[in-house]
Amino acid sequence: MISPTQGFFVTGTDTGAGKSVACAWLVRVLDADYWKPVQSGLEGETDTQMVQRLTGLPGQRFFPPTFSLTQPLSPHESARRDGIRIRLDDFSLPTSSRPLVVEGAGGLLVPLNDQDYMIDLIRQLGLPVILVARTTLGTINHTLLSLEALVRRNIPVRGIILSGPENRANHATIATITKVAILASIPHLDPLTPATLARVAPLAHDLG
């Protein structure tokens, strides 16, 4: 499907689109390792902890964030409050013998500092993108804007994961307009457990 040295950067159309659940699903189906470069907010279960819980994989399969910021805010503001400045040069891909699933924070134009955005980090890391989009009202606009930003920067997109209640009309419209493969549709999982995640259908398209 993909070579062991490859990986994917998972970003969302906005905050709360379902990136972490999508990452857990990808880690399972690809037998991948996981890395969250920037974690904003440390109270409760972090994204890395959620993905580890949902996959049941050992801790060595999860690389620590480059920045663990205390406040659940945009990275630039959370870093400011912590007295930290995020720089693109601070980041480098972890070395892994497995595919690597990298999870962003928020959407593509979330600021990391006063001049760099999450999309700049994606371009620097050089990984193709998997875009997580909601299924609900507004998703077509958000998805098209996100894809337009990626195309303008010549960042390859390997597919879209839809997250939320089934919406066949939005699914069909996004597939038809974007011509980007929809890899999976992940419904709202309640409860959110390894067992419910395991019932999500396998990859609908090859990632190679």
Which residues belong to the active site? 36
**Which strands form 62-63's sheet, in the order they lie side by side?**
62-63, 33-35, 100-103, 7-12, 129-134, 157-163, 182-186
Sign, CA dihedral 185-190-195-199, equals negative
Select from 96, 156, 98, 161 the least CA-distant residue to 127: 156
**What b-and-e string marks burial along 107-132, b requiring 16 or more CB atoms within 10 Å of the CB?**
bbebbbbeebbbbbbbbebebbbbbb
How far is residue 119's CA from residue 121's CA, in Å, rounded to a whole number?
5
Considering only CA atoms, which of 60, 72, 57 is closest in space to residue 23? 57
Question: Half-sphere exposure of residue 131, counting CA atoms within 13 Å on the CB side?
Answer: 32
**Residue 138: helix, strand or coil by DSSP?**
coil
Query: Strand ranges (DSSP E) for 91-181?
Result: 100-103, 129-134, 157-163
